[in-house]
Structure 1
Amino acid sequence: MKRLTLLPLAAALAAGGAFGQTLLTIDASAPAKAPLENQLKMGTSVAPSGARLGINSQYLTRDGKPWMPVMGEFHYSRTPADEWDTELRKMKAAGIDIVATYVIWNHHEQRDGHFDWSGRNDLRRFVQLAAKAGLDVVVRMGPWVHAEVRYGGIPDWVVNAMPTRKDDPQYLGHVARLYGEIGRQLKGLLWKDGGPVVGAQLENEYNLDDAGEGAGHISTLKKLALRAGVDVPLYTVTGWDQTVYPSGEVTPVFGGYPDEPWAVSTKELKPKETYAFRFDSRVSGDLGAQTARKGKGTAESDMDATPFLGAEYGAGLPFMYRRRPVVSPDDIASMLPVQLGSGVNLLGYYMFHGGRNPMELTSMEESSLSGGYNDTPMINYDFQAPLGPDGQQRPVLARLRPYHLFMHDFGDRLAPMTVRKPDVAPASSDDLVTPRWSLRSKGDSAFVFVSNHVRQYAMPEQRQLQFSVKLPNETKVFPRKPVDVANGAYFIWPVNFDLDGTRLSYATAQPVARLDNGKDGVVYVFAASGNIPVELAFDTQVADTLQMTHGARMSHVGNAVVVDGIVPGTGAAVTLRRAQGRPVTVVVLSEQQAQRLAVGDMAGKRRLVLSAQQMWFADGGLKLRSDGNPAFRFAVYPPLPKTVKARQGALKEGTDGIFQSFDIALPERRLTATVTPVRAAQEVRPVMIGGLAKAAVQPIPESFRGAAAWRIDVPPSSGKGEPDALVNLDFTGDIGRLFNGTRMLDDWYYSGYGWQYALKHAAKGENKGPLTLSVLPLRADAPIYIPKEGRPDFAGKPQISELRGVTITPVYRLDVR
């Protein structure tokens, strides 16, 4: 396959005289596609304030302007209600614009006619708190939701008594009652009422097409939703696995995951197409639908009439019994430039916040025992999510947030842009040699998307790359000095990017945020792309207006001025001081600094905040959480106008580049757990093969008679307020279960990924004594997939059940006002 295009002599000289590099070429000279209007029949789109939401064939709009929101899934019924407010604010600070949530039917109506909307089931209060946190809401109404819940969330008494997921009169009667209850919960909270609910999803993963099913059933569900009062600007259905729906009545949403926990392989999978740019399709591989259908679905034939919206791009992965893939932060974040570069105009994550299944008399998880395709933990729904079940921030969140900020501040530029395919592109997702990149453009403005990361597969270093982009009025060759793109690197670069009236010809750094600082000017924040040298190129006429930091160099190259030698940091890299208009400052943060950046309202103004700690905004102030480290540091720009105080003590003030910095060290707390063996493990039987997947199935409940057990004495907790400590359970085995007396608190499939539990939750309930951990032995011959990094050394033994240790991580909090 031809892979390289030699750089012509004239272009080589203009690019700095570098020969022998790889020139990646693309033709973006054709006009961008114009969106089609009035293709989709949605609900009421105008709020009482006059604010308007819209949708065309390419993107969403807000008040007539292209809108590219970020959506994150958070299941209210899987999290204690007293934690919702804080957790929703954490999502907002992470750059989430819309919170999506399933209404899990069997969490609300376990008995026919007896609905529970109280406590952790209080959908109305959850939506109200989302609005208070500044989030819009998409309610995924079901009735079948999957969500790794028994029968996809449809109550047992429904499944046992009647056909489901079709236009059966008896079934539709119960669905109408469910929708009516949801409508009452949302009354006054819809967009048309001035509320935050902007969308509703009908059903999930629906591709059934026999009598009473298919597009007609989705049409029926929409009518039932409208009859229940759920009149919203956006109606969606999931678009994968040959989905069927009434064209024009709903819009499909898509997804992609970095692995397949629902697969049956006990080995690493081949490279996932989630990491491959797509130019003629929208479905990113197998998304685990539990029904099968042959032939094209409606989403494929509707591509020209519907925008490319997402709902389930994996922000993590669940553990299923037979397959337990662990993902790294880069495994998740590297999907973003690929999806955006493939045309996605709404990035929706599943899950963004982990949780735990409610468990009263029995559990309601998906399992082979109840006919499910997968075996999942009874309680735990961690999902390796950016925010864990106890609100802990995972490293992946920091990798994702710069992209969320980019979409918030520059998504209106990107959304109308057309995807362009490179002249040479990988032949398939298995091609690990050809450079992976894409471009989206409109007119002479564009963004370049690059990814050299494929999970579990080393990519070659792409050496001495330059890009040649043919635009309607010019051909842009950049950067001036060819760059090496390392294995694992991924980024977005701008072309002809508007800096409030000044054109940035290109940058080898990623735009992150724009901050309007009033009369003091505008600040643009960029992020360096790893160790790639930063180049900022401008038109020649701005040369006299450029003010550079120490070490930066300015070179005249043809009709451009190229600034290089920039050392990423918190200071101003370049300031444009123009005769007319406000000054424009460009800050280029290092990649690590950009991952510590959040943007939110403090003291009545939108500000940049840098911190390694978890942070969120509330009541005009800043809240931070640190797990294990009592030392806090954060920096703010623009500086705060008044004295800054922390409830926990005095802050030490300083400066960090253009930022105002603050430090404080809280008193250290040392917490220990005492572990006492209770019973030794017994030999367990071989793992059975069976179920719908005809693969390893979870051991039957009686198998736990062979589990080892330990008593764990932990410091007492009041059970009030935020979690004050996390217990870390480091075991090796098959399945771990944590108890308070006989009440199961949590469970876990061993994978090598760390298991934590907030001690404040253990203090709830009648039993206040020690905890008990039981660990079912893992057999050496178990036909399950555990990543090689977590696969235990059996040392010739037939099984293993060990507790390596129990530690307690204190949780520190800082409230800044």
Structure 2
Amino acid sequence: MSNTVDPHGRWRLTNQYLECNGIPAIPVSGEIHYSRLPRTRWEERLRLMKAGGITVVACYVFWIHHEQTEGQARFDDNLDIAAFVRLCAAIDLDVVLRIGPWAHGEVRNGGFPDWVQDADVDHRTNDAAYLAMVKRWFNRIGSELQGLTGPDSNVIGIQLENELYDQPDHLRELKRLARAAGLSAAMWTATAWGGAEVPEDEVMPVFGGYGDGFWVDAEAPWDPTFRAHYFFSEEWDDPGIGADLRAHLSGGQIAPPTSISASYPPATCELTGGMATAYQRRPWPKGKDVAAVANNKIGSGSGWQGYYMFAGGTNPSDGLQESQASGYPNDLPVFDYDFHAPIGASGRLAPSFSELRKQHAFLAAFGSHIAPMPSTLPDRMPAGIEDSGTLRWALRSDGDSGFVFITWHQPHVPLPDYDEAQFRLALAKETLTFPLALLTIPSGTIARWPVNLDMGGVRLRWATASAMTLLGTDTAPVLVLAAETSIETQLCFPKGSTLNGPARQVGADVYAVDGTEPVTLTAKSRHGTLAILVLPAAQVNQTWVLETADGRELVLSTEPVWIGADGRLTGRSIGLPSVQRYSTTATRFETVKTAFASYGRSRQAVTAELIRAAKTIPSSFGSLAGRAAAPTDHVIDDLAQVYQIYLPVAALTGDGPTELEINWAGDVARLLVDGQVVADRFWDGSPWVLETTDVGLLHAKDIQLQILPLAKAASVGLTLEAQRRRDMVAGDLAALDKMELLQWTTWAEDRS
């Protein structure tokens, strides 16, 4: 695989790491579903993903989205998989296709069309009748993708099935059918969590890691399978993913964890990018909750960072979602699949985007160094998931140089500041202890500190700031470090080196840097010179590292920015943009001149008139497998409070994207346009953001919002913040706090 069978022109697989063009690399893949997005949104989402450090696009190919009626498969509009793959190639993004045929993805029947689900066959086995249906489907995919897979393609991976635990021979047969259909990839993969039996002679096992999930019971405490991901570990299996479906649909029990393979590097395809919202349990992972899991996986030796989801979306029509009506234990929203992803369904960026962007910039710059480096865990490890007193850290090193990874954050059970931290590293030729004095690591710290990093002929012995990226050239490099919040940035160099710039000496060859403004320093040794840019902690989340035709660029912007099709900096902002680019020659940030493609009116209040009060709400709408059922359409129509929505006409006539932001509280909300439900949401305390064009508001004559109150006794699990608001109300909870229209200004760099 990748080497002798289905060889690829760029990608090669080893048992320790992946290579791209002969250089060790750590791919970063992000899930996006083309069939859950309007085709007009594909390009901006993909360019945003790339700007966030994604190098590989992963996507399910949902059979039920394409062929709801047998023999009438559709590949038009947002189902045009070939056009999607070509667009990814044009943007220089590789692709992993997750072709199923069973996919899950919170989709009805796990992605099987109803006619497949209802067929008298043994599904997900080598039953000849079932395989005949799969063969026809794979052949159709192969026909659509003719010429788009193979050694020169950007399709570098194909995942077979999903969460298949005990059918290794079936995975082999699926691979045979896919290859016979003309599909080819450097890497064939299969999910290995839950103790799955994966035929390693045919597929690479891939893993996942979620810090929270909707699939545990509503009143369950923070599950150990989630908590484990907030520790560095040699364990890659997550037995909790899909455990509810396994128990409910097949009666199977969780198997012993799958050990990491000696034949493949540790690889992930489903690290938490956020979390879907089920009716009975509604997690809302915050930015650092997502970033902490990702940092732990890199520090633990990850050879492939893969996120689910990275860009949220919307189910294409009613009835395609996972639900109790289709035999699943959980009810999911009819349309909403925002997933609290780094890029939300409307295109709004979540805080997790900037948190992950820093890590991905690090991997892009230093991945060739890190990929071959094994992970070493400290002698003193946490005693268990309840241990909040032992520092969580790991070292990836080649024996001489490397990076110390620190993750001192977890949700639900906050960690205290860690006092008196100091690291003692037993390297091949020395024992290195740093920093000189004990320091305090604040709660919330997620860091990657370099050790014996050689750049430009200069060795940086250690630093108490995270390595972010490299700018400049091989002969004139600029090392960019990100200061940590409430930790003094200290740099140590070997004897004989000098450091020029605004830094003060605090010990032998150790210097401290003021962390309030960007600082450019120059380190010199008898072998060379290294420029070092130290970014203040307050500025790090505004930093974008973008790959351009002119090389890697460092840009400051609090709002979205990416590289357009013409190679210029492009973005959107609320009001006038404020964008700066770092000049390696002037050693400072300089303002980027911009020209407007459209100019928005920023935020405008939206008028909502209550036209019907809610009726009495029952405490339950039923249940399945002990889990609360969502209310039916009839119940919502009958019991919800209803608002008439009046949008400012001028706000809908601009050229730029416009969002409707709804801040509300209750149980279920639905937006109706001219009598049709176009969007829905289960309340979890987060704002509900909709792109106005995508939900048909541009030419709407009648817009209504339904909010079903949340019954005081309803058995639903909420985030701590949402539950606090619920507890403040004596009875049922229903409120419309505020509605606003946000008009984005779109711009591009003006090079005139």
TM-score, scaled to structure 2? 0.93
Give the C-alpha shift of residue 285 in structure 1: 5.0
1:620 partnered with 2:567 = yes
Q: SS of 1:633's equivalent?
A: coil
Cα distance 1:510–1:327, how it changes in 2: closer, same or farther (>3 A)?
same
Cα distance 1:370–1:181, how it changes in 2: closer, same or farther (>3 A)?
same
- For residues 742-761 of structure 1, the aligned pairs below 5 Å read 742-761=675-694
Letter in 2 for 1:261: F
1:239 partnered with 2:192 = yes
Letter in 1 for 2:194: D
Distance 1:57 1:602 in 2: 32
> What is aligned with 1:186?
145
Q: SS of 2:540's equivalent?
A: helix
> What is aligned with 2:706?
774
1:286 partnered with 2:240 = yes
> What is aligned with 2:330?
374
Distance 1:720 1:250 in 2: 51
Distance 1:719 1:283 in 2: 48
> What is aligned with 1:537?
492
- For residues 642-653 of structure 1, the aligned pairs below 5 Å read none
Q: SS of 1:158's equivalent?
A: helix
> What is aligned with 1:567?
515
What does the per-residue CA deviation read over 1:117-169, in whole Å, with 9 as the maximum and x for residues that have no partner? 00010111111111111211000001111100001110001111133111111
Letter in 2 for 1:461: D
- For residues 327-342 of structure 1, the aligned pairs below 5 Å read 327-342=285-300
Q: SS of 2:153's equivalent?
A: coil
Q: Of 122, 125, 128, which residue of structure 2 is paired with 1:169?
A: 128
Distance 2:275 2:673 in 1: 27
Cα distance 1:802–1:525, how it changes in 2: closer, same or farther (>3 A)?
same
More displaced 10-residue stretch of structure 1: 274-283 or 449-458: 274-283
Distance 1:487 1:772 in 2: 44
Q: SS of 2:722's equivalent?
A: coil
* Contact map agreement 2:138 2:181 (CA 8 A) in 1: yes
Q: SS of 2:533's equivalent?
A: strand
- For residues 122-141 of structure 1, the aligned pairs below 5 Å read 122-141=80-99
Cα distance 1:42–1:160, how it changes in 2: closer, same or farther (>3 A)?
farther
> What is aligned with 1:153?
111
> What is aligned with 1:80?
38
Cα distance 1:723–1:466, how it changes in 2: closer, same or farther (>3 A)?
same
Letter in 2 for 1:391: G
Give the C-alpha shift of residue 685 in structure 1: 2.3
Give the C-alpha shift of residue 669 in structure 1: 4.6
* Contact map agreement 2:66 2:79 (CA 8 A) in 1: yes
Give the C-alpha shift of residue 596 in structure 1: 1.7
- For residues 316-355 of structure 1, the aligned pairs below 5 Å read 316-355=274-313
> What is aligned with 2:208?
255
Letter in 2 for 1:166: T
* Contact map agreement 1:199 1:234 (CA 8 A) in 2: yes
- For residues 9-408 of structure 1, the aligned pairs below 5 Å read 43-47=5-9, 52-162=10-120, 163-192=122-151, 194-207=152-165, 209=166, 214-266=167-219, 268-270=221-223, 272-289=226-243, 290-292=245-247, 293-294=252-253, 300-301=258-259, 303-359=261-317, 362-408=318-364
Q: Of 635, 639, 662, which residue of structure 2 is paired with 1:729?
A: 662
- For residues 377-526 of structure 1, the aligned pairs below 5 Å read 377-517=333-473, 521-526=476-481
Q: SS of 1:790's equivalent?
A: helix
Letter in 2 for 1:526: L
Unaligned runs of at least 5 residues, structure 2: none
Q: SS of 2:129's equivalent?
A: helix
Give the C-alpha shift of residue 746 in structure 1: 0.7
* Contact map agreement 1:712 1:771 (CA 8 A) in 2: yes
Distance 1:516 1:98 in 2: 25
What does the per-residue CA deviation read over 1:580-631, in whole Å, with 9 as the maximum and x for residues that have no partner? 65x42111112232222222245634321111111110112011212xx313
Give aligned-pair identity as a percent. Answer: 33
> What is aligned with 1:659?
589
After superposition, the CA RMSD in angstroms is 2.4
* Contact map agreement 1:150 1:370 (CA 8 A) in 2: yes
* Contact map agreement 2:214 2:276 (CA 8 A) in 1: yes
What does the per-residue CA deviation read over 1:519-573, in whole Å, with 9 as the maximum and x for residues that have no partner? 7x21111111212111111111223xx32x22x123563xxx212244353331x
Distance 1:446 1:670 in 2: 47
> What is aligned with 1:606?
552
Letter in 2 for 1:234: M
> What is aligned with 1:801?
734
Cα distance 1:394–1:41, how it changes in 2: closer, same or farther (>3 A)?
same
* Contact map agreement 1:256 1:285 (CA 8 A) in 2: no
What does the per-residue CA deviation read over 1:456-512, in whole Å, with 9 as the maximum and x for residues that have no partner? 112122112111111110000001122101122221111111113321111111111
Distance 1:145 1:494 in 2: 40
Letter in 2 for 1:527: A
Cα distance 1:764–1:119, how it changes in 2: closer, same or farther (>3 A)?
farther
What does the per-residue CA deviation read over 1:191-232, in whole Å, with 9 as the maximum and x for residues that have no partner? 51x22110000000111x3xxxx1110000000110011111
1:554 partnered with 2:510 = no
| Count of aligned residue pairs for this structure pair | 737
Distance 2:261 2:662 in 1: 47
> What is aligned with 1:18?
none
Distance 2:84 2:63 in 1: 16
Cα distance 1:156–1:617, how it changes in 2: closer, same or farther (>3 A)?
same
More displaced 10-residue stretch of structure 1: 246-255 or 179-188: 179-188
1:633 partnered with 2:578 = yes
> What is aligned with 1:592?
538
TM-score, scaled to structure 1? 0.86
Cα distance 1:593–1:185, how it changes in 2: closer, same or farther (>3 A)?
farther
> What is aligned with 1:816?
749
Letter in 2 for 1:789: E
